[in-house]
């Protein structure tokens, strides 16, 4: 759900239609320019992102930047509607990695970054390929961050349950997801008033974060129902629910935020952007968290692209802002302030990233943990409804947490997924 689902430049929203920055007449590049950027994110405030905008405005005294935010579904629906209408988009629009394949068939509606003096070699081939047309001629967005994967855990709750708290010893508890669930059994037996994890949907996403093919195959066919990896991820998540491990807290809900603050669960599947969410919503828990290796050792969850719709009146200025916001220097700043891990591979060995430790997370070496999780992670295949499908599974697992029969929940999810993909 970075995405996503949460990211400074990668988690964002849509303007009210009348207030969006698109237009038909070219703007004077030397005059006063207001650049609008639509981002997505649920209940997620990133004030540090404003600092980057302020910095850019100081460098360009004729430019004002306005960010607008909405939930991930509304954001992408509005973007598609406004692209179809030919007006109403912002100058810059963020597209989540699980949604980008739904837009690459409309390259004429976006500025082609292949024609904008961008060094695409700073990103992996697969990262660029996801936002490119099949023939590679058009690139509709520049990569912002990447998720990686780890497990964030509460050291105080581990200690109370008699489990080790040292991050290396904790990582050794779960070489596989089956071991993670087995450790959860020990935890809930020792501390019956605290749950092992926040929601089974996050366990499900974590398991699939190390799979190349999940909901779609390389040809773009929907394969979710017959993909054994998806079914196994579902069964493992359901088993954990049935073992009493889930706090059943839907992500980005007020109850989820309270769960962080009150220590209602001990672990959470943790892409890099989750660090920022935890810090923003549970500031009083600083020093009680640490970061361990993800079961299986590798995987990714999240990432986004910064695009410039071609209908805008300020495309030239918008392209320059997009290039600046996705440059290594800015991505490193975002990582250090809110945890969004930079997508440029060249940054991973920079001392500011590689040697970064998070005081909030007990000085965990986040700058080493997250790139290590990406070293062997597969280049995942996404389809036009990947994010919607992931959200559907999260909702289905939440229904199991509320008492729905798992087989009934699976069947209902399949019906909803096929309908969303136009196969119902």
142 and 157 fall within a common domain = no
Spatial contact of 44 and 112, defined as CB atoms under 8 Å apart: no
pLDDT tens for each residue of 4-47: 333 333 333 333 333 334 444 445 556 899 999 999 874 333 44
Burial class (CB in 10 A: 0-12, 13-18, 19+), 73: middle
Residue 5 lies in a domain: no
Indicate the residue among 354, 376, 393 that finishes a domain: 354
Report the pLDDT value the prediction gives residue 30, as an integer from 0 to 100.
Answer: 67
Instruction: Please provide the DSSP assignment of 269-323 as one string.
Output: EE-HHHHHHHHHH-GGGTTSEEEEEPTTS-----EEEEE-BTTBS-HHHHHHHHH
339 and 220 fall within a common domain = no
23 and 94 fall within a common domain = yes
Report the pLDDT value the prediction gives residue 43, as an integer from 0 to 100.
Answer: 33
Q: For residues 124, 126, 129 and 135, what is the CA-based torsion angle, rounded to 10 degrees?
A: 110
Residue 4 lies in a domain: no
The closest alpha carbon to 321, from 43, 60, 2, 16, belongs to 60
Q: Supply the CATH number for residue 41's domain.
A: 3.40.190.10
Domains held by the chain: number:
2
pLDDT tens for each residue of 261-314: 999 999 999 999 899 889 989 999 999 999 999 999 999 998 899 999 999 999
Residue 219 lies in a domain: yes
Report the pLDDT value the prediction gives residue 249, as an integer from 0 to 100.
Answer: 96
Residue 3 lies in a domain: no
184 and 242 fall within a common domain = yes
329: left (phi over 0), alpha (psi -120 to 50) or beta: alpha
pTM: 0.85
Stretch (H or E) spanning 410: helix 406-420
Indicate the residue among 333, 354, 375 that finishes a domain: 354
Q: Give a three-class secondary structure readout of 56-98.
A: HHHHCCCEEEEEEEECHHHHHHHHHHHHHHCCCCCCEEEEECC
Sign of the CA dihedral running 93, 75, 303, 171: positive
Residue that has been written with the tokens 């986004």 in this structure? 304
Q: Who's near 278: CB < 8 A, 6+ residues apart?
A: 152, 260, 268, 285, 289, 360
Residue 408 lies in a domain: yes
Spatial contact of 165 and 155, defined as CB atoms under 8 Å apart: yes
326 and 244 fall within a common domain = no
The closest alpha carbon to 281, from 43, 113, 74, belongs to 43
Domain that holds residue 93: 17-146+302-354
Per-residue pLDDT for the chain (424 aa), expressed as one digit of tens each? Answer: 444 333 333 333 333 333 334 444 445 556 899 999 999 874 333 444 688 899 999 999 999 999 998 888 899 999 999 999 999 999 999 999 889 988 999 999 999 999 999 999 999 888 898 899 989 999 999 999 888 999 999 999 999 999 999 999 999 999 999 999 999 999 999 999 999 999 999 999 999 999 999 999 989 899 999 999 999 999 999 999 999 999 999 888 899 999 999 999 999 999 998 998 899 899 999 999 999 999 999 999 988 999 999 999 999 999 999 999 999 999 898 888 878 889 898 899 999 999 999 999 999 999 999 999 998 888 889 888 898 899 999 999 999 999 999 999 999 999 999 998 887 6
* Spatial separation of the C-alpha atoms in residues 322 and 280, rounded to whole Å: 25
Query: What single DSSP character describes residue 148?
Result: -
* Spatial separation of the C-alpha atoms in residues 332 and 348, rounded to whole Å: 9
Report the pLDDT value the prediction gives residue 28, as an integer from 0 to 100.
Answer: 59
33 and 142 fall within a common domain = yes
């Amino acid at each position: 759900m970075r995405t996503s689902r949460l990211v400074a430049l990668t988690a964002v929203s849509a303007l009210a239609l009348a207030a969006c920055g698109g237009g038909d007449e070219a703007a004077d590049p030397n005059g006063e320019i207001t650049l609008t950027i639509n981002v997505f994110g649920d209940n997620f405030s990133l004030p540090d992102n404003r600092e980057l905008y302020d910095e850019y405005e100081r460098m360009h005294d004729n430019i004002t930047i306005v960010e607008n935010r909405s939930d991930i579904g509304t954001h992408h629906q509005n973007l598609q509607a406004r692209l179809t209408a030919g007006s109403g988009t912002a100058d810059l629009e963020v597209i989540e990695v699980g949604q980008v394949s739904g837009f690459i068939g409309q390259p004429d509606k976006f500025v082609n970054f292949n024609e904008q003096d961008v060094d695409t070699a700073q990103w992996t081939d697969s990262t660029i390929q996801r936002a490119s047309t099949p023939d590679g001629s058009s690139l509709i967005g520049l990569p912002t961050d990447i998720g990686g994967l780890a497990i964030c855990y509460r050291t105080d709750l581990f200690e109370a349950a008699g489990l080790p708290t040292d991050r290396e010893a904790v990582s050794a508890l779960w070489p596989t997801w089956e071991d993670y669930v087995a450790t959860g059994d020990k935890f809930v037996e020792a501390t019956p008033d605290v749950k092992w994890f926040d929601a089974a949907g996050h366990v499900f996403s974590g398991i699939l974060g190390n799979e190349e093919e999940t909901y779609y195959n390389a040809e773009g066919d929907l394969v979710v129902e017959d993909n054994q990896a998806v079914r196994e991820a579902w069964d493992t998540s359901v088993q954990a629910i049935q073992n009493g491990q889930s706090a059943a807290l839907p992500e980005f809900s007020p109850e989820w935020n309270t769960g962080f603050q009150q220590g209602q669960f001990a672990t959470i599947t943790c892409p890099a952007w989750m660090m920022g969410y935890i810090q923003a919503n549970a500031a009083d828990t600083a020093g009680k968290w640490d970061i361990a290796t993800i079961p299986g050792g590798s995987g990714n969850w999240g990432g986004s692209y910064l695009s410039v719709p071609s209908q805008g009146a300020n495309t030239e200025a918008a392209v320059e802002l997009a290039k600046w916001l996705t440059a290594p220097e800015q991505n490193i700043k975002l990582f250090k302030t809110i945890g969004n891990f930079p997508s440029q591979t060249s940054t991973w060995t920079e001392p500011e990233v590689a040697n970064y430790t998070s005081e909030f997370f007990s000085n965990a070496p986040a700058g080493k943990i997250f790139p290590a999780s990406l070293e062997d992670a597969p280049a995942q295949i996404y389809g036009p409804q990947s994010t919607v499908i992931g959200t559907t599974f999260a909702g289905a697992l939440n229904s199991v947490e509320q008492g729905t029969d798992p087989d009934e929940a699976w069947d209902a999810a399949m019906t909803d997924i096929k309908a969303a993909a136009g196969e119902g």
